[in-house]
Chains A and B, each alone.
Chain A
Amino acid sequence: MEELAQPILNGILLGGLYAIVAIGMSTMFGIVKLVNLAHGDLMILASFLCLSFMTWLGVSPLLSLFVVVPIMYFVGFFVQGYLINRVLGKEMEPPLLVAFGISIILQNLLLLIFTPDARTLETSLAIKTIPIADFLNIPVIYLIDFLLGLGSISALYFFFQRTYMGRAIRAASDDETAAQLMGVNTRNIYAKAMGIAMMTAAMAGVLIGMTFTFYPHTGPQYLIIAFGVVVIGGLGSMKGALAGGLILAIAQLLGAHFFGPGFQLFCGYVVLLVVLALRPQGIFGTI
């Protein structure tokens, strides 16, 4: 039992990171019914932006969030406002395919600019641990991921429940026509919502970059993780995203513990496929 404590603890902490990876995609699915296939790549774009600021200005990754997060807001606003909004309609495929195109463009653009080398956002935190028992350590970087992830999700929850903008976004998603009649410019609202989703993606991208290595082609891997979290937790639910993140991360780390590190992602995908087959609406979701 003692040897299982470490993977489970790491799984819980990693779950917080997965939740912040997924929350932006989940939000956009809830509001615009858009599956943003470029979510992972936009996240990795934030990681590379952070890397650039680190090398140019010599700031720490967490400090660079003050620049990266606003930039990503405008990236999201542009993507939704000028590209995806133009193909929003009855059918789901055109927006999806535009996002797919953006994903491929971003991957290859990053590849041209940054070469295919493995990158990481280096900090001294990456190797520190806090011992809490002789068989148990808390990796500091995982703890930071968990706390910042949880913090961002709480802030997002507060934003949607308490602010005028948040209510307007929810109104536009509940009934577009009624919201328009109430004087809400829904297309503009969607663009702002994407901007906010990309702010969470910026946070996720920087945390991922601090925790793991990343390449220009890493995006799709996190897209699938995000999708997994959303599927397991149920769409549009923030508590679901947190629960989904925990389940997926614990499944992965237990898989790595029992079958070897090569099977970490594999076990996550198998859990995901089983959930998809048995409960397509997610464990916590209702259709």
Chain B
Amino acid sequence: MGGTLQKTRWYILGLLVLVLSTVPLWGTEYVLLFCLLFCLYLAFSQMWNLLTGYSGLLALGQQSFIGISGYTVAVMCNYYAVNAWLAVLLGGIISVLLALFMSLFIFRMRGVYFGIGTWIFAETLMLWFSNWEYTKYGVGLFIKPPTPPSMTELYYAAFIVGVGSVVLVYLILRSKLGLGLMAMRDDDAVSETMGVEVFRSKLYCFLVAAFVTGIAAGVIYHFQVFIQPYRAFAIDWTVKLVFIVIIGGIGTIEGPILGAFIYILLSQTLSEYISLSMLILGVIAIIVILTAPKGIMGSLQEKMGFEILSPRRR
């Protein structure tokens, strides 16, 4: 690949980050909302991609971390008057602890069993929270931090989480851990004989994904202000992430960026018809799997050798 293309990649990326970082200065309220949701869904889907696209862990229970972190934020802010951002951090930490606890059960399962196991965990949490007096049963909680964050503060938090998630995945994939992850995704047994610590690598990934998902969830719940078990622990979260990553391109870093953009565009345009936008998203996802299994970015990479962020060393 030529040097000019190499440079162009960095110009594209730099421009994207520059545009995103200055939105509060020039954007309308709608654009700001759009970019905020884009950054947060980018973080969620980048983490799902790390688990499923790179580590071969089919995770259908990301809503466990979203819900538990959202509830941590709500409980900390409402009952203990904790600072809004400290509560977000605590949400991330609780997510990691939950992931550690979950790993005792679900790391004995493989493939689809792992997926459904994580999903059942989320459903169990949903039922627990909807029967728990402390969190006001299924009625839910309004999140009232001592000083509610402004929209600009929320946006920059989302921006840091979104861009941070991309950088984090890039760094992980360039590291020894990432190399091992991709080896074991392609062949579990062979990579283990070659010295990859399969269990530990998968666990690290699972914990990292739980942390970032938890942080992003804390920010999104500060934005939404209201949390309810049937929404917080709903499979709908993971459904969106699956579609975002599949459409954009599973196992590519750029895929979730494009996928998250398409999803936010669709859901915001049809915000009054949520079921219609999910319907369209489902149809697009099936068409993509049938015609271009590697997603839009994956197919582009294959045909044109066009990669913006490559985990490969050249």
Interface residues of A, Cβ cutoff 8 Å to B: 35, 83, 86-87, 92-94, 96-98, 100-102, 104-105, 107-109, 111-112, 220, 224, 227-228, 231, 260, 262-263, 265-266, 269-270, 272-273, 276-277, 280
| Distance of B303 from chain A, by nearest CB (Å) | 20
User: How distant is the Cα of A220 from the Cα of B230 in the complex, in angstroms?
Assistant: 13
On chain A, the residues within 8 Å of B112 by CB distance are 35, 92, 96
Q: Could you show 9 A-B contacts with beta carbons less than 8 Å apart?
A: A97-B289, A98-B286, A98-B290, A104-B279, A107-B275, A109-B279, A269-B120, A276-B108, A276-B113
On chain B, the residues within 8 Å of A102 by CB distance are 282, 286
Question: Is B104 within 8 A of A277, CB to CB?
Answer: yes
On chain B, the residues within 8 Å of A105 by CB distance are 279, 282-283, 286
Additional A-B contact list (15), CB under 8 Å, known A87-B290, A112-B276, A228-B120: A35-B116, A92-B112, A96-B58, A96-B112, A96-B115, A100-B242, A101-B243, A101-B286, A107-B275, A108-B279, A224-B116, A262-B130, A266-B127, A273-B124, A276-B109
On chain B, the residues within 8 Å of A220 by CB distance are 235
Q: How many residues of B contact A (CB 8 A)?
A: 40
Question: Is B119 within 8 A of A224, CB to CB?
Answer: yes
Question: Is A265 within 8 A of B127, CB to CB?
Answer: yes
| Distance of A41 from chain B, by nearest CB (Å) | 11
On chain B, the residues within 8 Å of A263 by CB distance are 127, 131
Question: Is B242 within 8 A of A97, CB to CB?
Answer: yes
Question: Is B282 within 8 A of A224, CB to CB?
Answer: no
User: How distant is the Cα of A104 from the Cα of B112 in the complex, in angstroms?
Assistant: 18
Question: Is A111 within 8 A of B109, CB to CB?
Answer: no
Question: Is B290 within 8 A of A83, CB to CB?
Answer: yes
Question: Is A262 within 8 A of B127, CB to CB?
Answer: yes
| Distance of A59 from chain B, by nearest CB (Å) | 29
Question: Is A94 within 8 A of B286, CB to CB?
Answer: no
Picked from B109, B123, B279, B289, the residue with its CB within 8 Å of the CB of A87 is B289
Known contacts A101-B285, A266-B124: does B117 contact A92 (CB below 8 Å)? no
| Distance of B208 from chain A, by nearest CB (Å) | 21
On chain A, the residues within 8 Å of B58 by CB distance are 93, 96
User: How distant is the Cα of A102 from the Cα of B303 in the complex, in angstroms?
Assistant: 29
Question: Is B289 within 8 A of A104, CB to CB?
Answer: no
The 5 nearest A-B residue pairs measured at CB: A108-B275, A105-B282, A277-B105, A104-B282, A108-B279
B182 near A: Cβ within 8 Å?
no
On chain B, the residues within 8 Å of A101 by CB distance are 243, 282-283, 285-286, 289
B239 near A: Cβ within 8 Å?
yes
User: How distant is the Cα of A107 from the Cα of B119 in the complex, in angstroms?
Assistant: 18
User: How distant is the Cα of A83 from the Cα of B53 in the complex, in angstroms?
Assistant: 22
B157 near A: Cβ within 8 Å?
no
User: How distant is the Cα of A105 from the Cα of B285 in the complex, in angstroms?
Assistant: 10
User: How distant is the Cα of A129 from the Cα of B156 in the complex, in angstroms?
Assistant: 62
B119 to A, closest residue via Cβ: A224
User: How distant is the Cα of A14 from the Cα of B112 in the complex, in angstroms?
Assistant: 26
**Secondary structure of the A contact surface, majority rule:** helix
On chain B, the residues within 8 Å of A108 by CB distance are 275-276, 278-279, 282
| Distance of B249 from chain A, by nearest CB (Å) | 13
**Which residues, 250 to 302 on B, are CB-close (under 8 Å) to A?**
275-276, 278-279, 281-283, 285-286, 289-290, 293
| Distance of B76 from chain A, by nearest CB (Å) | 25
User: How distant is the Cα of A101 from the Cα of B109 in the complex, in angstroms?
Assistant: 23
B206 near A: Cβ within 8 Å?
no
B106 near A: Cβ within 8 Å?
yes
B128 to A, closest residue via Cβ: A266
B111 near A: Cβ within 8 Å?
yes
B245 to A, closest residue via Cβ: A97
B277 to A, closest residue via Cβ: A108
B246 near A: Cβ within 8 Å?
yes
Picked from A94, A109, A269, A277, the residue with its CB within 8 Å of the CB of B124 is A269
User: How distant is the Cα of A21 from the Cα of B282 in the complex, in angstroms?
Assistant: 25
Question: Is B239 within 8 A of A227, CB to CB?
Answer: no
On chain A, the residues within 8 Å of B290 by CB distance are 83, 86-87, 98
A259 to B, closest residue via Cβ: B131
| Distance of A252 from chain B, by nearest CB (Å) | 11
On chain A, the residues within 8 Å of B113 by CB distance are 231, 276, 280
B121 near A: Cβ within 8 Å?
yes
User: How distant is the Cα of A74 from the Cα of B239 in the complex, in angstroms?
Assistant: 27
| Distance of B127 from chain A, by nearest CB (Å) | 4
Question: Is B123 within 8 A of A276, CB to CB?
Answer: no
| Distance of A230 from chain B, by nearest CB (Å) | 10
| Distance of B56 from chain A, by nearest CB (Å) | 9
On chain A, the residues within 8 Å of B246 by CB distance are 97
On chain A, the residues within 8 Å of B283 by CB distance are 101, 105
| Distance of B313 from chain A, by nearest CB (Å) | 26
Question: Is A111 within 8 A of B275, CB to CB?
Answer: yes
A265 to B, closest residue via Cβ: B127
| Distance of B240 from chain A, by nearest CB (Å) | 10
User: How distant is the Cα of A178 from the Cα of B112 in the complex, in angstroms?
Assistant: 27
**Which residues, 210 to 229 on B, are CB-close (under 8 Å) to A?**
none
Question: Is B239 within 8 A of A273, CB to CB?
Answer: no
A29 to B, closest residue via Cβ: B112
On chain B, the residues within 8 Å of A104 by CB distance are 239, 243, 278-279, 281-282
On chain B, the residues within 8 Å of A266 by CB distance are 124, 127-128, 131
On chain A, the residues within 8 Å of B120 by CB distance are 224, 227-228, 269, 272-273, 276
Picked from A111, A265, A276, the residue with its CB within 8 Å of the CB of B106 is A276
| Distance of B269 from chain A, by nearest CB (Å) | 16
